[in-house]
Amino acid sequence: MAKTKQSAALGFIFITIFIDVLGLGIIIPVLPKLLQLLGHINVNRASEYIGWLTFVYATMQLIFASVMGNLSDRYGRRPILLISLFGFGIDYVVMAFAPTIAWLFVGRTIAGICGASTSTATAYIADISTGSKRAANFGMVGAASAVGLIFGIALGAYLFAINIRLPFMAAGAFAFANGLYGLFVLPESLAKEHRRKFEWSRANPFLSLQRIYKKQPALAGLLGATAIVYIAQKAVEYLLSSFVYEKFSWTPASVGTLGIFIGIVLVAIQGFLIRYSVPKFGQRRNIIAGLIFYAVGLLLIAFAGQGWMLYLFMVPYCLGGLSGPALQGFASAKVAKNAQGEMQGAFAILNSLSLIIGPLLFSYVFFFFTKNGSAVYFPGAPYLLACVLMLISTFIAVWSFKKT
């Protein structure tokens, strides 16, 4: 692939993942109010629906991540990515004009299926990347996710002030526009000689993980470490606002400011720093260092005494982002070209599982240590547990490297 076309393709993938996360960001400030409006319910009841909507979204991703990845190994990355983007556009339209809560579940089902395209997008990056640039390009995935989340939250908050359904219309317009751009610009990355027959047995998410374990047990260890990391990350992604409301009595505006700060730091690390750290120190050292940074950051957050400290403590936590792209780059280098979709599908499967397990786990821990009459009042308990999980993942990663 020519250098100009490769740059254009990377830009398209960046925008695709950006739009994927944008949808999640938009929902954060808008969905509770939309649920109250559609169901004529209070905030507590709306929070229950949000939990089930998240469950549906994550379950669809879990089921279809491996299917999408394997379809891309058979028919190429381009058609799967385009179908997913137009599907996202349909999802946002459904949510924008949903007359009842039931239609929101329809929209989230479509979004979960289309959100599984992340495995295809990362397989595309693996196709066109080599050497140390592979991890650097995977760093774009993290940067795109960070930017998408920031922009999504801001877009949802500002457009919500105009009309509660306007954020979804805007997100749908972005998805359709990117789909049309890809239709005319995006080249195919997987040559026909590297494609393979689609097999339903390989599209089964759990059989896919089992097959990777049998073929490369050391690599399976890294995937196990990744699963634990994904679960631990949910303590920050889904519980941070509740934590600062409870412990520091912050306002939503304060939470938004911290979110923007986190996003900027993540973009700097995953979009730029990793391009220098991987060539200089290697993928293995970046993975181990990132996991240790995660653990340190979570430990500091757990025992933060004042709200302003979170800005300092988020820096080591965000430096943990060095591990993700390096790990994906390391794993993708160990499999054949016609199995990249399957490998990236495995990462997407693990992320979906963490989305089902993590929020429920840490919400329960948070409730237990902050409820009235609790023997020990400790709002930071979820972050201490997440720190322990990060340390466990570090030991697993070190063991896996010894086996590789």
Domain residue spans in the chain?
Answer: 3-184+207-403
If we measure between CA atoms, which residue out of 122, 103, 90 comes closest to residue 56? 103
Q: Amino acid letter at 256?
A: G
Task: Answer yes or no: are the C-beta atoms of 329 and 135 closer than 8 Å.
Answer: yes
Mapping DSSP to helix (H, G, I), strand (E, B) and coil, where does residue 204 land? coil
Spatial separation of the C-alpha atoms in residues 144 and 141, rounded to whole Å:
5
With a CB cutoff of 8 Å and minimum separation 6, the contacts of 199 are 70
SS3 labels along 164-194: CCHHHHHHHHHHHHHHHHHHHHCCCCCCHHH
Q: Can you give the pLDDT at residue 338? A: 63
Q: Is 135 left (phi over 0), alpha (psi -120 to 50) or beta?
A: alpha
With a CB cutoff of 8 Å and minimum separation 6, the contacts of 164 are 30, 33, 34, 37
Looking at 78-221, which runs of residues are DSSP E strands?
Answer: none
Q: Amino acid letter at 301?
A: I
Residue 336 in tokens: 């054949």
Q: Can you give the pLDDT at residue 217? A: 65
Angle among Cα 155, 161, 167 to the nearest 5 degrees reads 40
C-alpha R_g of the chain:
20
Place of tokens 């403590």: 313
Rounded to 5 degrees, φ, ψ at 388 are: -60, -40
Task: Answer yes or no: are the C-beta atoms of 123 and 328 closer than 8 Å.
Answer: no
Provide the 8-state DSSP code for 271: I
Q: What is the CATH number of domain 3-184+207-403?
A: 1.20.1250.20
pTM for the predicted model, two decimal places: 0.68
Spatial separation of the C-alpha atoms in residues 272 and 264, rounded to whole Å:
11
Give pLDDT tens digits along the chain (404 positions). Answer: 555 656 667 777 777 777 777 776 777 667 767 877 888 876 556 666 776 787 788 888 777 767 777 777 777 778 888 888 788 888 888 888 999 999 999 988 888 887 655 667 777 777 777 665 666 676 666 667 767 777 777 777 777 778 888 888 888 888 888 788 778 877 776 667 667 776 666 656 666 667 666 766 667 777 788 889 889 988 777 777 778 878 888 876 677 778 778 878 887 887 778 778 877 888 888 889 999 999 999 999 999 999 999 999 999 999 998 887 777 777 776 666 666 666 666 776 777 788 788 877 887 788 788 877 778 889 899 899 999 999 999 998 888 887 76
Q: In this structure, how many other beta carbons lie within 10 angstroms of the beta carbon of residue 272?
A: 13
Residue 89 in tokens: 């556009």
Residue 281 in tokens: 């120190």
CA distances (Å), origin 142, targets 98, 215, 323, 326 = 31, 28, 11, 11
Place of tokens 């070190």: 398
Q: Can you give the pLDDT at residue 385? A: 95
Spatial separation of the C-alpha atoms in residues 135 and 130, rounded to whole Å:
9
**What ranges in 40-76 are assigned the alpha helix state H?**
43-75
Rounded to 5 degrees, φ, ψ at 88 are: -60, -40
Spatial separation of the C-alpha atoms in residues 146 and 18, rounded to whole Å:
8
* 120 CA to centre of own chain: 14
* 166 CA to centre of own chain: 24
Q: Can you give the pLDDT at residue 252? A: 64
Q: Can you give the pLDDT at residue 87? A: 84
Task: Answer yes or no: are the C-beta atoms of 157 and 255 closer than 8 Å.
Answer: no
Q: Can you give the pLDDT at residue 116? A: 52
